Homo-oligomer: A and B are copies of this chain.
Amino acid sequence: MNLKELSARLGLSQTTVSRALNGYPEVNEATRRRVREAAAEHGYHPSMRAKSLATGQSFTIGHVIPISTKNELLNPILTDFLAGASEAYERAGYDLLLLFIADLDEDRAYRELVTRGKVDGVIVHGPKLADSRIGLLHELELPFVVHGRSTQLAQDYNWVDVNNRHAFYRATGLLLDLGHRRIALLNGLEIMDFATRRRDGYLKALEDRGLSADPAIMAQDEMTESLGYNAAKSMLEADNPPTAFVVASVIMAIGVRLAVQETGRRLGKDISVVVFDDDLSYFRNVGSIPFFTTIRSSVRIAGQLAAEMLLEVIRDPPTEPKQTLLEAELTVGQSTGPAPNT
């Protein structure tokens, strides 16, 4: 069933039927109702292919996931972010195009996305320190929203981000308040923008108490369980071990928990841990007293907000860039306690 058939059946022109269904005002309400009913009855939905060509829009948003050619690690937060974004798209009648792009041919991929007209806008995932994609997207004039930020960039742009700096400042501050003086940082890779902001927050908190950071208890790596385990274990087995950890992800923290236990310490007693928690559905920190003390911000909500922002930007391009900064919530659980006496 296509427009032609439907309008023939109704004895109306294609124009009228199209306008009736798209809510244009120059159509009689009685006619509109008649058209709507016929469309519902025959299960008519306009072909997106034709609609795209006619309108010049694709009603599709691209999510471009950079894949490092070296390690091929996938970010576990992706699904939650996409699910959040998807809710916004669904409401607006948009679709989600998912692309995994090797970081080597990102440039080509973005250009093709535009010239082939596959998307009306993109969400930029995993921004690095001075991310070249942002300049490229400006040049291509493709609407976009960044999940996160990229420091050291002259241009301004739309983003949704968590206040990573402040979150880690608070996490570190909490441990300092509890009397900890040797606090380790297990961070994500610091080529990633979010990781440098987290480190900055950590360092600032130490500095504000007149403490200096010790590189021996600061690690950065992919946020996997085994790397969290390895880093924590070697720090705990070294001289002058930390009494507390600030950890960049729940998955990493699980490795830390194991290392703590294996080295004969008790979590929340001998060793305190504060974790950044993206509130992933299958790692939900449940119970009346949650296991980990966390600084938490739902990545699913971030996805939703980023998608909504992008749709607005597409609808009417703003003169000023839109920016949303989310604050993480500090929840005290069982993994923190006063610093042990020496």
Per-residue interface assignment for chain A, residues 189 to 210, with 1 indicating a CB less than 8 Å from any chain B CB and 0 otherwise: 0000000000000000000000
A99 at the interface (CB under 8 A from B): yes
A270 at the interface (CB under 8 A from B): no
A106 at the interface (CB under 8 A from B): no
Contact in complex: A98, B116 (CB < 8 Å) = no
Q: Which residues of B contact A222 (CB under 8 A)?
A: 282
Task: List the one stretch of A12-20, A144-152, A223-231, A317-325 in contact with chain B.
Answer: A223-231
Interface size on A, residues (CB 8 A): 60
Q: Which residues of B contact A52 (CB under 8 A)?
A: 49, 52-53
Q: Which residues of B contact A116 (CB under 8 A)?
A: 45-48
Report Cα–Cα, A282/B116, bound state, in Å.
34
Copies assembled: 2
Q: In the complex, which residues 278-311 of chain A have their Cβ closer than 8 Å to any Cβ of chain B?
A: 280-287
A257 at the interface (CB under 8 A from B): yes
A123 CB to closest chain B CB (Å) equals 12
A23 at the interface (CB under 8 A from B): no
Additional 11 contacts, C-beta under 8 A, given A226-B286, A251-B282, A257-B258: A49-B49, A63-B98, A67-B83, A76-B79, A86-B99, A90-B100, A95-B99, A95-B118, A98-B98, A224-B282, A226-B285
